[in-house]
Structures are given as structure tokens and as C-alpha cells.
Amino acid sequence: MLIVLLGPPGAGKGTQGERLAARLEVPKIATGDVLRAAVRDGTPLGLAAKAAMDRGDLVPDDVIQGIMKEALTGPAAANGAILDGVVRTIPQAEGLRDMLASVDRELDAVLLFDVETEELVRRLSGRTTCNACQRPFFGREPGEPCECPDGTKGILIRRSDDEPDAVRKRLDVFKAQTQPVIEWYRKNGGRVIAINAVGTLDEVEARAIAGLGPAR
């Protein structure tokens, strides 16, 4: 199954994406994770993306198209993928549609995570993230060790774009540039499934699975 996760920053796309990927036995592809790894490794991609990411702005569409293409045409995604944060603008949605059409594939569903802005601000301002496995934590401090699933000894950090100014910017960017993508999918025949993304991790996962239905 090929599923796009759409929703504002802090809605839980990454966490639920991990769960869905494990359940459906497909990889999770997150452009944010790819970009953060590139920044950490100091690659040309990372150097080009860092300033925009730190401000809470989007990186240019052509950069994202390149990442999408590489991730989706590889063997790992042959049976599908969970695309987390990969589509954030209408040109990116069009690019993904065209790229999939060229290999005779299409999206199965767009899973929309619904969370109030106040809850998002509360979540993001209390979030730390592992610098290795990239999992988010709430109620844990920067500098604490992470228990990464693969045994790597990661350290919890505060993402620079989780600072208050960047959080506000990311929420504005979501409203201006990503919200219209939801309408674009509705108009262009996408199967958009909206779920209430407030609740325990198990509750939200159950809603996602119920929303995807037996076709998954």
C-alpha cells in the first residue's frame, strides 16, 4: 500500500507512520528524516536545506522531488510505503502523481491527521527528538540518552525548528501551503481519510487502521 500522511507539524505523523509501516510491512519514508540526516552529515543536500529548515520554511520543491524519486524507485518501496511529510505543496502532489503514473502506480490513500493548533503548540514545545533514530519524546529533557531500537546510542535534542518562532512559522506554512493540498487530493480523486489524531497512540492507530479499511 502506498499511503501519504498529511497533517500539521506535531500531529503524530512520524510516530503513527512507524506503526503503520510495521503493521503493513512497508518502509516509512520521511523527507524530514532524510533532510535532517543530510544536515547532520554535512552533505550538499543538507547544506542547501539547513537554513530553510531552521526558519521553519519549506525546502524547494525540486529538492523534495529528488528525494521522493530516489526513495520510491528503489527496491525497498516496491510493495508500497508510508510517505510521512513528503507532500507539502500542490507542485509536490502533482510531481508525486506524475512520478507514480510513469511507473504505473498510484496512491491508495491520503491519511489526514486532525489536531487543534493549541494542542500542536503544546506538543511541539515539549518535544525532544533522538539525534540518531529520530523518535520523538515528551516530558524528557535534551541530553538524556535514547534507547534506540537498533541499539545505537542516540542523545535527545531539541530540534532547532521546535523553538517557538520556528513552530509558529511551520504552522503558518502548513496553513498556507499544505492545507490546499488536502483539497487538491479531494478534487483529483484521492481517497482522503481524516482521523482525529488526539488520543493515546493505540487509539489513534486504531482510528487509522479503521479508516484505511479492509482494502489495506
Question: Of 153-212, which residues contact ligand AMP (CB under 6 A)?
Answer: 161, 170
From the candidates 19, 123, 159, 207, which is the catalytic residue?
159
- Can you list the alpha helix ranges (DSSP code H) found in 42-78? 44-55, 61-73
By C-beta, is 23 or 55 nearer to ligand AMP?
55
Instruction: Give the bridge partners for 123, in sequence order.
Output: none
Is residue 136 close enough to count as binding ligand AMP by CB under 6 A? no
* Cβ neighbours of 91 (radius 10 Å): 16
Query: In sequence order, what DSSP letters do the residues of 144-198 get, joined into one string?
Result: PBP--TTS---BEE--GGGSHHHHHHHHHHIIIIIHHHHHHHHHTT--EEEEE--
Q: Is 58 in the site for ligand AMP (CB under 6 A)?
A: yes
Closest C-alpha among 28, 38, 40, 41 to residue 66: 38
Count of chain residues binding ligand AMP (CB under 6 A): 17
Contact (CB, 8 A) for 158 and 128: yes
To ligand AMP, the closest distance from the beta carbon of 64 in angstroms equals 4
Told to judge if 13 belongs to the known catalytic residues of this protein, a careful annotator would answer yes
Given the residues 88, 97, 123, 207, select the one marked as catalytic: 88
**Is position 127 annotated as part of the catalytic site?**
yes
Least spacing, CB of residue 136 vs ligand AMP, in Å: 10
Residues with catalytic roles: 13, 88, 127, 159, 170
List of residues contacting ligand AMP (CB under 6 A):
9, 31-32, 35, 52-53, 56-59, 64, 85-86, 88, 92, 161, 170
